[in-house]
């Protein structure tokens, strides 16, 4: 009886498959802080954003697959 039990035990162990180890998590890269703008560049950027903001019509138009804010071109040209 012991031999029969031992033979069954060995057959069962040979068919046992170890669980697959989990995949290693993706390596997370640390994002560096963006370089800050100089005060002069920040002021120029703010002025440009103000010019574009004044020329927005408040409507959305389809550009390819995206909807983008509609800009009054005449207003944009006159504010330069």
| Per-residue confidence (pLDDT) for residue 36, from 0 to 100 | 84
* Cβ within 8 Å of residue 75, ≥6 positions away: 54, 55
For residue 12, what are the contacts with CB-CB under 8 A and spacing of at least 6? none
List, in order, residues 6 or more apart from 71 with CB less than 8 Å away. 52, 55, 56, 57
Question: In this predicted structure, what is the pLDDT of residue 43?
Answer: 92
Q: Provide the pLDDT for residue 16.
A: 58
Note the pLDDT of residue 44. Answer: 92
Segments in the chain below pLDDT 50: none
């Amino acid at each position: 009886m012991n031999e029969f039990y031992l033979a069954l035990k060995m057959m069962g162990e040979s068919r046992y498959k170890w669980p697959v180890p989990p995949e290693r998590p993706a390596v997370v890269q640390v994002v560096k802080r963006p370089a800050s703008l100089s005060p002069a560049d920040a002021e120029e950027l703010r002025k440009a954003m103000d010019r574009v903001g004044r020329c927005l019509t408040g409507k959305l138009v389809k550009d390819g697959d995206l909807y983008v804010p509609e800009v009054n071109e005449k207003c944009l040209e006159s504010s330069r």
